[in-house]
Amino acid sequence: MRAGIVVSAHPGVEDLAVRAEELGLHSFWVNDTPMVHGDPFVALSLCAKATSRIRLGIGVTSPALRSAPAAASGLASLNALAPGRIICGVGTGNTARRTLGMRPTTAAGLDNFTAALQDLCAGRSTEYREGDRVSDIRFLHTGAYVNTTDPIEFVVAALGPQAAAVAGRRGTGLISFGLLDPTAWHALQDARRHAAPDTPRDPDSHTDSYVVTSLHILDEDEDPHGDAARDATGHLVLSLLAFAADTAAEKPAFAEQLGPEEREAVRRLLDRRDTTATAPDRHTKLYPNYLGRIAPQDRDLVLPSLMNTLALVGTRDDVLARIATLEQAGVDELLIQPVIDPPTEMAQLAKLLT
């Protein structure tokens, strides 16, 4: 299986991209969460100039964050800096929107946005709508400004069949966050295949699948649920707890899927952040430091059950066995989000998989 890295935009991110390329990793992604992290297009521009081989991904943008013309301009500009090396992840904006106190877009909106980006980034015209006004748009001046000749790879962020069906209709790949269940991946792949048209939209399009997780290889006799493992995986666990806390009133079915211990952790998180599941400003309390290294006082919230669900923790052989089952389920690339010591964690991933 291929290996890649996901990071948040910050000064010096290009140094990590250079190191990832030196280690032989396949891709380097930057999150698109505007009010939490830096801008991925700025960060990846620096990475594009500093590297020559590694693929560069936006993980992920959304029609609820950026208009199709603005997003296509950023992507095609990156493609001019790193021809043929750009990957664009698109999604409903679940987290990025919730950090603004807003809801994500619909599957239909995601579908239209993806189609528009594919058209524009390939130099084709597309229908663009604002309210009741509709027009056909395309890049009016390419060449030295943007690159619409070399292909851009598109992937749709999915946790369920609706988004996977968008990937099928648009002939794209898939990307999912913390989804390490092979059965769930089989379901996503089935939904994508069933939605795919008989005649592909673009016969040369990529349909690779990516999973974002974290990795912690245990030392001999190390506690799999000790502080080191919790620190390495806590950002994923707290992201799920924050989502559950944020949507407890809006989506009670999600919280109901959690066990009693997990629901208690959600309650403690709300108390610890001094907010409630119905407070209109709860997003300002739940999402600071989102996907960053957790505070030591929050380690108790990193439950073993959630660590095992969302992250890869174990001996080298244990982790490789889990990766093999994901590969059999159709996952092509493992993306690690390092937070403790990114250069060391990247080297560990490269040693494991490359």
What's residue 218's pLDDT? Answer: 96
Residue 310 lies in a domain: no
Query: What value does the mean pLDDT take over residues 220-224?
Result: 94
What's residue 192's pLDDT? Answer: 97
Do 211 and 285 belong to one domain?
A: no
User: What phi and psi values does residue 231 have, to the nearest 5 degrees?
Assistant: -65, -35
Do 97 and 175 belong to one domain?
A: yes
What's residue 307's pLDDT? Answer: 97
What's residue 94's pLDDT? Answer: 87
With contact defined as beta carbons under 8 Å apart, do 229 and 313 qualify?
yes
d(CA 302, CA 262) in angstroms, rounded, equals 9
pLDDT in tens, 126-176: 999 998 999 999 999 877 899 999 999 999 999 999 999 999 999 999 999
Residue 219 is given by DSSP the state: P
User: Per-residue pLDDT for 47 more than 80?
Assistant: yes
Residue 74 lies in a domain: yes
Taking the model in full, what pTM does it have? 0.96
Query: What value does the mean pLDDT take over residues 309-321?
Result: 97
Do 196 and 111 belong to one domain?
A: yes
What's residue 222's pLDDT? Answer: 96
d(CA 113, CA 126) in angstroms, rounded, equals 10
User: What phi and psi values does residue 227 have, to the nearest 5 degrees?
Assistant: -60, -40
Residue 222 lies in a domain: no
Query: What value does the mean pLDDT take over residues 327-340?
Result: 97
Residue 96 lies in a domain: yes
Query: What value does the mean pLDDT take over residues 215-238?
Result: 96
Confidence at 203, pLDDT banded by 50, 70, 90:
low
Query: What value does the mean pLDDT take over residues 294-318?
Result: 97
Do 128 and 254 belong to one domain?
A: no
Boundaries of domain holding 167: 2-217+315-353
What's residue 199's pLDDT? Answer: 67
Do 232 and 207 belong to one domain?
A: no
| Domain containing residue 56: CATH number | 3.20.20.30
Q: What angle do CA 145, 146, 150 make, to 5 degrees?
A: 140
Residue 309 lies in a domain: no
Query: For the chain, what is the domain count?
Result: 2
The token pair that represents 275 in the structure block:
């907010």
Do 6 and 107 belong to one domain?
A: yes
Query: What value does the mean pLDDT take over residues 225-251?
Result: 95
Confidence at 198, pLDDT banded by 50, 70, 90:
confident
d(CA 106, CA 64) in angstroms, rounded, equals 9
Buried/exposed 264-293: b ≥16 CB within 10 Å, e otherwise: ebbbebbeebebebebeebbebbbeebbee
Do 101 and 186 belong to one domain?
A: yes
Chain mean pLDDT for the chain:
95
Which residues fall within 8 angstroms of residue 32, CB to CB, at 6 or more apart? 40, 58, 59, 60, 61, 62, 65, 96
d(CA 183, CA 189) in angstroms, rounded, equals 10
